[in-house]
Amino acid sequence: MAEPKGQGGEMDIDEEMASLAKAFKEAKDRKAELDKESKEKEQIMKEAGARLLEIFDSKTITQIKFEELGTFFIKPSAFPKVEDQEKFYKWLRATNQDSIIKETVHPQTLRAFVKERIEKAEPMPDGVKPGHMIRQISNRA
C-alpha cells in the first residue's frame, strides 16, 4: 500500500486507489491460479476414485485401511427422482413422514429473480425483500 503523504498524514487518493487496484488484481490473479490447480486436483481425485471403485468391486470389498493414508471406503449417495409427486406425498402423509414436504423456491432462482427486478428498477412482489445487498468491484483486462 502507498505511504500517507501531504498534510495531516493523508494519502493521495489516486495513489491509494492505484495501490488498492494493484492488490485487488494480484489477489484475483492468484485466485485464478489456485482455482485452476483445484480443478486439476479434482480431476485426479475423480479418476483415482473411479479406479478404486473398480478395484473394490473386483475384490468384492467395501473398505481398505492403509497405515499412512487412513481408511478408504465406499460411501453411497442417492439422487432420487420423484416420478409421481401426488402418490409420493400421499405415502409420506400415510406413514406420518410428511414433515419433509416443503414448498419452496430455490435460493439461486430467487436471487436471480430479485437481481433482475432491481436492475430493471421494478418493485419487489409482496412478501419479498431484496435482503442483504452486496456491491462488489470487478475488473477486466
How confident is the model at residue 28, as a pLDDT? Answer: 96
How confident is the model at residue 96, as a pLDDT? Answer: 95
How confident is the model at residue 7, as a pLDDT? Answer: 54
Q: What are phi and psi of 138, to 5 degrees?
A: -135, 170
The CA distance from 100 to 89, in Å, is 10
- Stated as kind and residue range, the H or E segment containing 141 is none
Residue 5 corresponds to which amino acid?
A: K
> For the whole model, what pTM was predicted?
0.58
The CA distance from 139 to 28, in Å, is 9
CA distances from 132 to 106, 119, 129 (A): 17, 15, 9
Q: Stretch 72-79: mean pLDDT, rounded?
A: 87
91 or 131, which is more confident? 91
Residue ranges per structural domain of the chain: 1-77, 78-133
The CA distance from 103 to 97, in Å, is 15
Mean pLDDT, all residues of the chain = 87
CA dihedral for 96, 97, 99, 103, sign (positive or negative)? negative
**Least reliable range by pLDDT among 69-73, 88-92, 118-122:** 118-122
10 or 109, which is more confident? 109
Q: Does pLDDT of 139 surpass 70? A: no
